[in-house]
Amino acid sequence: MKITVIDGQGGRIGKSVIEQLKKSHPEQEIYAIGTNGIATAAMLKAGADYGATGENPCIVNSRDSDIIIGPIGIVLADSLLGEITPAIAVAVSSSPAFKILIPVNRCNHYIAGSREAGLGEYIREVCEKVSSML
């Protein structure tokens, strides 16, 4: 199963997801795709097996991933302070992969119905969902 984690900015969300997934499933290969080098480096440091940076890796890896994990902004063009290009948003949202999107109420969007939980709670929920799929 190909798990791809996509993140931008400083890669904090992707780093947290990868750390938790590697604790519970150390044998699972995880692809870290950052929209910038800092995000990719953070996710690789967290234990990702493969890493790449930029728009094209987001597009290419969205094609054959089984699970894509990241902040909800990865499906919203121009989000993450402009790091998510329209091409990335289209590639991720049209991917046949099962998408696990973490609600982040920033950058002029608000996810109605998302409870006010800490990042740690969302990360645990993500890991539980992935575990149920493996």
Q: What is the pLDDT of residue 32?
A: 98
For 1, the token pair is: 């199963």
Domain hosting residue 16, numbered range = 3-133
pLDDT, averaged per 10 consecutive residues of the chain (134 residues), comes to: 96 95 95 97 98 98 96 92 95 96 72 67 81 83
Residue 57 exposure: Cα atoms within 13 Å on the Cβ side: 18
What pLDDT does 113 receive?
A: 64
The predicted pLDDT at position 43 comes to 98
pLDDT at 125: 81
Split into its structural domains, the chain has a count of 1
The CATH code of the domain that includes 27 is: 3.40.50.720
